[in-house]
Amino acid sequence: MAALISTRVGIIVGSLRTESISRRIAHALAERAPGSMEFAWIEIGDLPLYSEDFDDDPPAQWTRFRDEVRSCDGLLFVTPEYNRSIPGALKNATDIGSRPDEDANVFDGKPAAIVSVSPYANGGMAANHALRQNFVYINLRTMAQPEAYIGMAEDVVDEEGRAGSDESDRLLTEFMQAFAEWIALVGQGESGERPIVGMLHFLSPEPRRLARFWSELMRLPIADGATDDLVMLDFDHVVTPTTWIFGRATDAARGRAPLGLDIGVQDADTWADVATRAEALGAERVGEHEDGGIQWIEMNDPDGNRFRVFAPRPEAT
Ligand SMILES: Cc1cc2nc3c(=O)[nH]c(=O)nc-3n(C[C@H](O)[C@H](O)[C@H](O)COP(=O)(O)O)c2cc1C
């Protein structure tokens, strides 16, 4: 299925040499990325060394580089380690993008991910962290986890881009999946505008009682300052944004479609326990369903609001 929203990710490789293992790893990452990502390869080998002398009349290569970075929603850096730091060409590129003044910094606020690469066991950790330090000042929002220090890199991906093991394949894929989620979480979108995060408002004759039910079921604390008329749940420590899904209502007998609240449980061993816990908290079990391998339990909360508890989706084969 075609992705509805695509994310443009710039790939910057720290090595300039033709047979670069870092570039090979970068290709392997791009090939394993979610379909929502499209890639722009941003080259740094032709950039004249940065000097403030050229700020007023910058070389065309600097302008090209700055424009390419600006056009991206996120940046993936794949670099070797040179003498326990990053290659000079890469440092030059970050200096060029951050200037001539703070307002012109093309990196400002963009989500970034770092992969360090080495043919040795150390995985280029020193380069990875030197780059992170650089990113703090130029305000790239660097993904913290998962980290990627790719050691013995020639064994991880061969010259044809094949992963050396299922484990390597999985780790490269998971890294790109996590980066896609990071961009969705902290990115600003093409227009530079942040999405408005909505809220779900329950109207209830007894807000405190209903809030207690959802607080305990979702394991979200009740925020300070609750009154008899208004209670809020505390989402401060929840980093995953809620997905809003619009599906076709088939319950025509109701006359109008109800608002359906779905809980997707990630853990296959515990999803049925969530329904049992909901019953213990005062919910009513309406039925159990299965369609196309997807299982769910239909329930009413204590006010009669319909919600469904979904089992994890079966692995695609
Ligand atoms: C100037 C220079 C310094 C290097 N310093 C390190 C180092 O500090 N740590 C390390 O793991 N490898 C170091 N190496 C070896 C590189 O990891 C190795 O050459 C690697 O293949 C370069 O990445 P590439 O294949 O993407 O070009 C160094 C290589 C060069 C040319």
Q: What are the pLDDT digits (tens) for 173-208? A: 999 999 998 998 888 755 455 555 566 778 888 899
Q: What does the pLDDT look like over 117-172, one tens digit per residue?
A: 999 999 999 999 999 999 999 999 999 999 999 999 999 999 998 999 999 999 99
Q: Which atom of ligand 1 is nearest to the CA of 25?
A: 26
Task: Compute, in angstroms, the gap from residue 34 CA to the centroid of ligand 1.
Answer: 30
Three-state SS at 141 = strand
Going by pLDDT thresholds of 50, 70 and 90, the confidence category of residue 306 is confident
What CATH number belongs to 7-186?
3.40.50.360
Q: What is the pTM of this model?
A: 0.68
- Kindly state if the Cβ of 17 falls inside 6 Å of ligand 1: yes
Omega cis (within 30) before 80: no
The two beta strands, 37-41 and 111-117, are unpaired
* Amino acid letter, 310: F
Q: What does the pLDDT look like over 63-107, one tens digit per residue?
A: 999 999 999 999 999 999 999 999 999 999 999 999 998 789 999
Contact indicator for 79, 114 with CB cutoff of 8 Å: yes
Closest C-alpha residue for ligand 1 atom 27: 20
Dihedral over alpha carbons 279, 280, 283, 289 (to 10 degrees): -10
207-310 shares the fold of 7-186 = no
DSSP class of 104: G
Task: Name the phi and psi angles at 220, rounded to 5.
Answer: -115, 125
Going by pLDDT thresholds of 50, 70 and 90, the confidence category of residue 269 is confident
Closest C-alpha residue for ligand 1 atom 3: 82
Residue of 19, 29, 81 to mutate, ligand 1, most atoms within 8 A of C-beta: 81
Task: Compute, in angstroms, the gap from residue 84 CA to the centroid of ligand 1.
Answer: 9
Query: What are the CA-CA distances from residue 7 to residues 3, 74, 173, 196 (Å)?
Result: 10, 8, 16, 18
Query: What are the CA-CA distances from residue 142 to residues 63, 112, 254 (Å)?
Result: 24, 5, 48
> In the chain, what are the domain boundaries?
7-186, 207-310
Class of domain 207-310: alpha beta
